[in-house]
Structure 1
Amino acid sequence: MKNNWFNKTTKETLQALNSSNEGLLHEEVAQRQQQYGKNELQENQGKTPLELFLHQFKNPLILILAIGALVSFATGHLIDAIAISAIILINAGIAFWQELKAQKSMQALKDMAAPMSLVIRNGEVIDVPASELVPGDMLKIQTGDILAADVRILEAHNLNIDEAALTGESEPVEKHAEALQEKEIPLGDQNNMGFMTTIVTSGHGLGVVTGTGMQTEVGHIADLMSSTEEVKTPMQVRMDTIAKSLMFVALGVVAVVAGIGLFYGMAWLEVINTSISLSVAAIPEGLPTIVSIVLTMGSVKMAKSNALARQLSAIETLGSTTVICSDKTGTLTQNQMQVMKSYDGAGRYWNVSGEGFDLKGEFQPAGHQVPANESLEMMMGLTVASLCNDAEHKVTNGESQVRGNPTEGALLVAAAKVELDLETLTQKGYQVIKKFPFDSARKMASVIVKDGEGNHFLAAKGAPDVMLNHASGFMADGKVLSLSPQVQGSQALATSPADECVAGYHQAIDQFANDALRTLAVGFRELDESQLDKKYEELEKDLTLLGLFGIMDPPRPEVRQAIEDCFSAGIRTVMITGDHALTAAAIARDIGIIRSDDDKVVTGAELDQMDDDELYAICPNVAVFARVTPEHKLRIVKAQQHNNEVASMTGDGVNDAPALRRADIGVAMGITGTSVAKDSSDLILLDDNFSTIVKAVRQGRQIFDNLCKFIRQALTANVGEVSVILFAFLLMGPEMVLPLTPLMILWINLVSDGLPALALGVEPEEQDLMERQPRKRNASFFGNHLGSRIVCRGLALGGASYLAFSWSLGAGHSEMYAQTVAFAMLIFAQLWHLFDSRTFTTLFRKNPFTNKYLLGAVALSAGLSLGVIYTSMGQAVFMTEALQLTHLLGIALAAALPTFLLSGVKEVTKIKWL
């Protein structure tokens, strides 16, 4: 049923749908329900819990460990097999639980739909479930309704619909029934259409259903969401790269060792035992778990700063963000209309301070010293604006709220800032006795008012050009200036004071337009009792203009600094909005998104004329994308990602959901955001504050730093474990004895290494954290020489451990005693190495006492490891022997040498790869 219904007249629409004002017959409804199905959104079937759980075993690390566990069972190493299996289940279980919390975007879309609808069928008005609507149904539209389908408006009586969640339009849209002539019209400008899930804020009307279910605009968004591929975050890509690299390293090392072993003539069982040890040593079993824990700790810290992470992997992505694609309405702006400027007939301007509907604020004279409450025409203008007004303002639990049209609410709030409100006016005897509501044809509204002295006047407000055409005079400095020529002596003045007023008004209108302010003019006309029953056509003329009000949805006060902080951190902010280009560009300049003439503003219509290559080329220079659709937003995010940007998308509406889902990190507003936006996002701003993103970026960068430190520590330990076995294999020949058992290696990876490494997750941030350029999407964990440092330090740790093992055997100690020596040496070497891992420079430049958690973790790890060596249970399980105290002391001191020597060389020579 897709059609340009907005181009058709009401008659043509009814003919095309084979409907009438009497509605459909019940037989026709039944036939159409079979043809079009229920008026519901459809969703794709996701994976079952069992499928999700089995999916976790596709991880290369898990597969290698699983093979190791099976071989351990087969060769009788029962304890090793059980320990490895437990690690596998823990890692798979954590990943499974994260994925089980699946997206519920489609359900949120369904929940937004109206449960019941008022329709005309067989000429009767009846209530039916919204799911039973069909194309051609006649829908009665009333204030407060949630539209249950897409409709072509047939009748509109002061009908206004809030479409902000769907189109990004910051104000309710006035609807009419006239056909539109343009063939391609953005959704936000289709003023004769109503859309599923939008809310009727005022008026009533009649509409014919043109689309149901997936054939609606919301259905189209639902289809985009279900077909939009969720790209892996940079964090997930990097972890996959590490997993694959470790898999190939492990298989390569095992293959080499097996080949050498067979060459030496070693028994298959010995080769298998060695291979199990090597595979366990090459893989940091605790890596997925520790990473999840570090990210969880980061998410807790971020939540305290009002940023709630829905996906743990997205936390680190924040630190990688290179471009923030931000929605305007409700994200950069307050989503509350506010009078920003005012003007009176005497040529005076005032800037109006405040935040949205909050009553705090004042009229600040601009270029003069006259307070607003001393301007008779300004006070009369605010009186007129308050009386000719259908909105309601109230304060509930300290929160200032507006019911009704937000623009009219903004006028009430502005009047309250000079202590003028409806209650005060009522006490003074003002009484509205007749209303002429606003309509789009005449572009104004008016009311007949009776004042406290029994006099009557018409209070009017409307579009400035219309009000000027209906004006016969202007109030300036308390006097009414007529448009008729002023005569002085026998010669008419070439320019009268009234003409100067007209010129001043036009100048003010232009200035407000340049500032992207919606401008309303106010005026009045004195009436006598004989005129009270006349129609508005006769009354709305010969007005005396009082002033102008410039209104907009203002930027959030903290946004300017947040965008500046992003700029300093090398992060571009791009506004993507469904609002008009002029409004968006003005706000973008005001808050610092547009910083030069080179920053472009591109509209959705212009986007439609571009192919993908053209979009890729201009993306780096575009600061604002205006009047865009959900498809445009999705396309823009994809273009940013194609340019190797790590794209964050912020939004609060249904129209933002597909792009939120596609972005590397989707950020939804927690207060004003729809459920659909929240469920499509990775991060929710609990305070709807754009500056919270900057705090989250800082924490994301710190988390990435700490993950790099942790991975350095963990993989250095693994290189040490592999190398000590390789050294033994290569240097001892066929008589090789394993320096470490698989269970010892598991202990090192999970307890003596994993536990202290957790403390690196709370390491204080580096000083240059927010001065660095953001990492690109393809940046590796092993960048900045991290890989070479891991290999270099790991070989040093493994070499030291092998030397201690070889010394012990040479001194005549038992094989078990020598393994215990190697075990203790590697543990203490790793603990010393922790202090070097916590910095990107050297341990000599970092105060060892600034992370108290690390000190505690090192002490706890050392204590637990000593328990493995000196307790009977530890000796029975891990096959260790109690070390002589002199040997233990020597090991603890000798274990520090690799770290201190290499750090010292690096400090002196400045060699980056050490």
Structure 2
Amino acid sequence: MTKKWFTEQVDSTLSKMGTTVEQGLSAEEIADRQARYGNNELEEQDKKSAFELFLHQFKNPLIFILGIGAGVSFFTGHLIDAVAITVIIFINALIAFWQEFKAQKGMEALREMAAPVAQVRRDGEWVAVLAKELVPGDILKIHTGDILAADVRIIEANRLSIDEAALTGESEPVDKTVSVLADEHIGLGDQKNMGFMTTMVTSGTGLGVVTATGMKTEVGHIADMMANTEETKTPMQIRMDTIAKTLMAAALAVVAVICVFGLYQGMPWLEIINTGISLSVAAIPEGLPTVISIVLTMGSTRMVKSNALAKQLSAIETLGSTTVICSDKTGTLTQNQMQVMKAYDTSGRYWDVSGKGFSPEGEFKPVDHYTNVKNSPEMLLGLKIATLCNDAEYIQDAGRSTVRGNPTEGALIVAAAKAGLQQKQMFDSGDYTIVEKFPFDSERKMASVVVKTKDGKHFLALKGAPDVVLNHASGVMVDGETIALNQTTSDGNLALAISPAEKLVNLYDAAIQDFAHQALRTLAVGFRELSEADLSKDYTELESDVTVLGLFGIMDPPRPEVRDAVNSCYEAGVRTVMITGDHALTAAAIAREIGIIRCNDDLVVTGSELDDMSDEKLQEICPKVAVFARVTPEHKLRIVQAQQFNNEVAAMTGDGVNDAPALRRADIGVAMGITGTSVAKDSGDLILLDDNFSTIVKAVRQGRQIFDNLRKFIRQALTANVGEVSVILFAFLAMGPETVLPLTPLMILWINLVSDGLPALALGVEPEEKDLMERKPRKRNESFFGDHLGTRIILRGLALGGMSFLAFSWALGAGYSAAYAQTVAFATLIFAQLWHLFDSRTFTTLYRKNPFTNVYLLVAVVISSTLSLGVIYTSVGQLIFSTEALSAVHMVGIILASSLPTLAISYLKERTKIKFV
């Protein structure tokens, strides 16, 4: 059986499905098909249990190394070290587990969107059945408010409209028809004789024959893509993996060198093991995963204040790496509120209509004339007609303006309000009463109502497609007077009997073309005075001989702040690409207005063109494409994959079921918090609480700042680790078999977690650098150590370790005990790192940074210094860490001497401008 049921006649579809409208399927046939096709439900994804997820967190190389260190410490009698490291391991694992556990909800939300029951004809009777029992060939009854329980070919439609926004991205309900569609390559949004599972019926009634159930439906296809779409690792995760592997290799290399050197020197095995433990603990920044999580959490808190909620902490930094934002149009770049943007009356006058969305604040601004809208009889009457011939309702609640009903009709009511015409007042006053309604349908492309005025007179108020309204017209109004139109007999088209009327029609046609070029949805309005005899006539007779009044150009306008946001992205080296289910003309017009299309070389590509395009060709043209229009879920997924193949870091925004696979695949999926479906929210990494594109730009800025601050923290943390490793290595190399370790494992843990980790946390709230949004985005494969950061870490770490070893050697040489000398080395390294914090705050030098701009850092330094002095000078600290109290003179000397490495190297960089220093 063909899947392209929209190309089949109704009779042909019923025949191929082996069913009839009158009888439906028999009980025997239903049983056979249920056995053949299975239940009409989405298959549940295999997912990891909570316990499996928790165990999965221990695959991290950093955690693995720490586990080895804890085990060795335990078996060699270093119980405090073993317990401390084990606690750190479990804290890190729990944080990672909780983030991943919350993300396993996408398919569950998709399943919950399905309809619970359905009305079908079976054995000649209408019966209610569980939706999961539907089979292909069932005749499904469709009512307003229904959620379609399967994919259907529409076989009967009575003013039937279905909201398919979640599936296709269409911003308005789609009017359904039974007519055959000849083009086999049209997308879901254009298949107007089909209905799809999980979409909602907004108006009308109809019948449909079920053509697909379960995983064979369009939403089932999306579910299958979600299940088989691999979630890519974020650049942050890749960089962290690189750091972990680098540190693991470094730790193993250092321990190997010590073992070889120790054996060569004839050192005892126990001494070699103790030294190896100290070095492995020193090489690994135990608090790194925890501190990074805390820094990202603080960033997440700041982002929530900007209306961006991060579901996964790693996504926060990824935003800072983003090179291309693939953005949906409706509701993200636009307001998702239809608005009358332009108006034209049949006297040839234009107005621009200001305002925002459904707010009544705004005005009609004359274009190339000085006529106030209230002084145009035809426009004022046209606004009354648009308000009377209208099923929408304007609502103001707690200062918030909304529309109940069709958004386009709501836009007409709001436009009238801007001219001083209030819908509620018009009806409540009794000036106008609706006698009869003739709703819009897709075949006649018009809607009309019979209106009774307060004095008992009647008239017909009509709105519809401009060409259709003109074809039903006998005149146009000019300055309050009706100019008659005459029909020709040659081709059935309207012609004008006299030159003035011909000119008016030409102006009317030009206005239609002008609005179309601006991608405005155009509606015309007209009226007809009715006699008592007319009231008994059919609407097909009444909707003739009308007088045309004017045109309204309607669209979902861009958000006011979006143009600046798109431009900010452009200046930051981040491309914005519009990906939408809307028509190419509409999408391109919006893209030009907000700056996504910046020149003639920027391409607009449609879904049908993508179908004929290979993946290689798509990858080739991706950098040139500004708009992808009329796209399907498969197209969105292909576009994201093509961007990633080109080494882009792709952010993808979306709100519907159709966006879910691409949201999962993108480096960072951005779901809409207000209009977004639960499927989209569960598939994304970031949720926009205000559905606003400019919020993404704020989040990109936050992401870049967080990345900067993470690099500053990693620089501080790893410099400290290099200092700890080097002080032990210097002692080992200089002292040979008689080595006395300058630092114990527990001292190293204290430095990593308290004296280094706590102040380094304050780097997470470091104010942003001045050139933050002027830099080009980082490349996907750029590590944390880029721009010579690795060199600076090693150079400064060796300097800090060297100073600590010199202080240790001096103490031993001066005849002090080994414990006293270790305390000297301990204190020297702590204060050297605290001095280095001020240099880590910037990518320039500390001489260019005001030391008082980060109050948190100053407080953290004070706390860390106080706690460390407590370890040295309190009996409890001396008992646990084997320290001895240092003399006041020695402590002052240590504080001053420990500043020398940082001050000297920073001065050298300031003078020479050498990047790697």
Normalising TM by the smaller chain, what interval? over 0.9
Name the SS of the counterpart of 2:330 in structure 1.
helix
Instruction: Within 5 Å, give how 1:542-691 maps onto structure 2.
Output: 542-691=545-694
Deviates more, 1:866-875 or 1:830-839: 866-875
**Contact 1:295 1:703 survives alignment (8 Å):** yes
Instruction: Within 5 Å, give how 1:477-516 maps onto structure 2.
Output: 477-484=479-486, 496-516=499-519
Deviation string 1:298-354 (CA, Å, 9 cap, x unpaired) is 000111111111110010111111111000111111222111111001100111112
State the Cα distance separating 1:457 from its structure 2 match. 2.1
Total equivalences in the alignment: 909
Question: Where does residue 519 of structure 1 map in the other structure?
Answer: 522
Question: Where does residue 218 of structure 1 map in the other structure?
Answer: 219
- Give the AA of the match of 1:443: K
Deviation string 1:269-304 (CA, Å, 9 cap, x unpaired) is 111111111111111010000000000000001111
Name the SS of the counterpart of 2:581 in structure 1.
coil
Instruction: Give me the CA root mean square deviation.
Output: 1.6
Name the SS of the counterpart of 2:347 in structure 1.
coil
Equivalent-residue separation in structure 1 for 2:145 and 2:51 (angstroms):
44
| Unpaired runs of at least 5, structure 1 | 486-491
State the Cα distance separating 1:225 from its structure 2 match. 1.0
1:71 lines up with 2:43 in the alignment:
no
Compared CA separation, residues 484 and 605, structure 1 to 2 (3 A)? closer
Equivalent-residue separation in structure 1 for 2:788 and 2:195 (angstroms):
58
Question: Where does residue 491 of structure 2 map in the other structure?
Answer: none
Instruction: Within 5 Å, give how 1:161-560 maps onto structure 2.
Output: 161-426=162-427, 427-484=429-486, 496-560=499-563
- Give the AA of the match of 1:441: E
- Give the AA of the match of 2:12: E
Question: Where does residue 20 of structure 1 map in the other structure?
Answer: 20
Name the SS of the counterpart of 1:856 in structure 2.
helix
**Contact 1:161 1:172 survives alignment (8 Å):** yes
**Contact 2:284 2:721 survives alignment (8 Å):** yes
**Contact 2:660 2:680 survives alignment (8 Å):** yes
Question: Where does residue 736 of structure 1 map in the other structure?
Answer: 739
Equivalent-residue separation in structure 1 for 2:54 and 2:527 (angstroms):
72
1:834 lines up with 2:831 in the alignment:
no
Name the SS of the counterpart of 1:707 in structure 2.
helix
Name the SS of the counterpart of 2:208 in structure 1.
strand
Equivalent-residue separation in structure 1 for 2:647 and 2:867 (angstroms):
46
- Give the AA of the match of 2:145: G
Deviation string 1:814-867 (CA, Å, 9 cap, x unpaired) is 111111111111001000100100011111111111111101101111111111
Name the SS of the counterpart of 2:440 in structure 1.
strand
Equivalent-residue separation in structure 2 for 1:28 and 1:876 (angstroms):
84
Name the SS of the counterpart of 1:324 in structure 2.
strand
Deviates more, 1:513-522 or 1:19-28: 19-28
**Contact 1:615 1:639 survives alignment (8 Å):** yes
**Contact 1:201 1:405 survives alignment (8 Å):** no
Equivalent-residue separation in structure 2 for 1:510 and 1:565 (angstroms):
33
- Give the AA of the match of 2:80: I
Equivalent-residue separation in structure 2 for 1:386 and 1:66 (angstroms):
72
Deviation string 1:64-101 (CA, Å, 9 cap, x unpaired) is 22112212222222222222222222222222222222
**Contact 1:2 1:211 survives alignment (8 Å):** no
Equivalent-residue separation in structure 2 for 1:752 and 1:423 (angstroms):
69
Equivalent-residue separation in structure 2 for 1:361 and 1:113 (angstroms):
41
Deviates more, 1:43-52 or 1:791-800: 43-52
1:865 lines up with 2:868 in the alignment:
yes
Equivalent-residue separation in structure 2 for 1:338 and 1:127 (angstroms):
41
1:899 lines up with 2:863 in the alignment:
no
Equivalent-residue separation in structure 2 for 1:622 and 1:864 (angstroms):
58
Name the SS of the counterpart of 1:873 in structure 2.
helix
1:775 lines up with 2:778 in the alignment:
yes
Deviation string 1:497-544 (CA, Å, 9 cap, x unpaired) is 111110000100000000001111111122222222222332222221
Equivalent-residue separation in structure 2 for 1:911 and 1:168 (angstroms):
53
Deviates more, 1:380-389 or 1:251-260: 380-389
Equivalent-residue separation in structure 1 for 2:913 and 2:300 (angstroms):
36
Name the SS of the counterpart of 2:129 in structure 1.
strand
Name the SS of the counterpart of 2:203 in structure 1.
strand
State the Cα distance separating 1:458 from its structure 2 match. 2.0
Equivalent-residue separation in structure 2 for 1:537 and 1:102 (angstroms):
56
State the Cα distance separating 1:911 from its structure 2 match. 1.3
**Contact 1:331 1:652 survives alignment (8 Å):** no
Name the SS of the counterpart of 1:532 in structure 2.
helix
Equivalent-residue separation in structure 2 for 1:334 and 1:359 (angstroms):
15
Equivalent-residue separation in structure 2 for 1:394 and 1:98 (angstroms):
41
Equivalent-residue separation in structure 1 for 2:103 and 2:726 (angstroms):
42
| Unpaired runs of at least 5, structure 2 | 488-494
**Contact 1:179 1:192 survives alignment (8 Å):** yes
Deviates more, 1:895-904 or 1:206-215: 206-215
Compared CA separation, residues 2 and 763, structure 1 to 2 (3 A)? farther
- Give the AA of the match of 1:425: M
Question: Where does residue 489 of structure 1 map in the other structure?
Answer: none
Question: Where does residue 10 of structure 1 map in the other structure?
Answer: 10
Equivalent-residue separation in structure 1 for 2:884 and 2:172 (angstroms):
77
Equivalent-residue separation in structure 2 for 1:96 and 1:422 (angstroms):
55
State the Cα distance separating 1:428 from its structure 2 match. 4.6
- Give the AA of the match of 1:464: P
Equivalent-residue separation in structure 1 for 2:903 and 2:422 (angstroms):
75
Deviation string 1:367-413 (CA, Å, 9 cap, x unpaired) is 11111121110111112212222222222333222222221121122
Deviates more, 1:863-872 or 1:592-601: 863-872
Deviation string 1:212-244 (CA, Å, 9 cap, x unpaired) is 221111111111111111111111111111110
Deviation string 1:588-641 (CA, Å, 9 cap, x unpaired) is 011111110011000011111111111111111100000000110011011111
**Contact 2:99 2:311 survives alignment (8 Å):** no
Equivalent-residue separation in structure 1 for 2:73 and 2:61 (angstroms):
18
Name the SS of the counterpart of 1:205 in structure 2.
strand
Question: Where does residue 761 of structure 2 map in the other structure?
Answer: 758
Deviation string 1:858-891 (CA, Å, 9 cap, x unpaired) is 1111111111111111111111111122111111
Equivalent-residue separation in structure 2 for 1:100 and 1:753 (angstroms):
31
Equivalent-residue separation in structure 2 for 1:620 and 1:897 (angstroms):
50
Question: Where does residue 142 of structure 2 map in the other structure?
Answer: 141
Aligned sequence identity (%): 72
Equivalent-residue separation in structure 2 for 1:334 and 1:457 (angstroms):
35
Equivalent-residue separation in structure 2 for 1:32 and 1:399 (angstroms):
51
Equivalent-residue separation in structure 2 for 1:526 and 1:62 (angstroms):
83
Equivalent-residue separation in structure 2 for 1:441 and 1:493 (angstroms):
26
**Contact 1:709 1:837 survives alignment (8 Å):** yes
Compared CA separation, residues 419 and 79, structure 1 to 2 (3 A)? same
- Give the AA of the match of 1:533: S
Equivalent-residue separation in structure 2 for 1:158 and 1:801 (angstroms):
84
**Contact 2:486 2:497 survives alignment (8 Å):** no
Name the SS of the counterpart of 1:90 in structure 2.
helix
Question: Where does residue 62 of structure 2 map in the other structure?
Answer: 61
Question: Where does residue 488 of structure 1 map in the other structure?
Answer: none
Equivalent-residue separation in structure 2 for 1:557 and 1:615 (angstroms):
32
Name the SS of the counterpart of 2:905 in structure 1.
helix
State the Cα distance separating 1:691 from its structure 2 match. 0.8
- Give the AA of the match of 1:144: G
Equivalent-residue separation in structure 2 for 1:53 and 1:819 (angstroms):
39
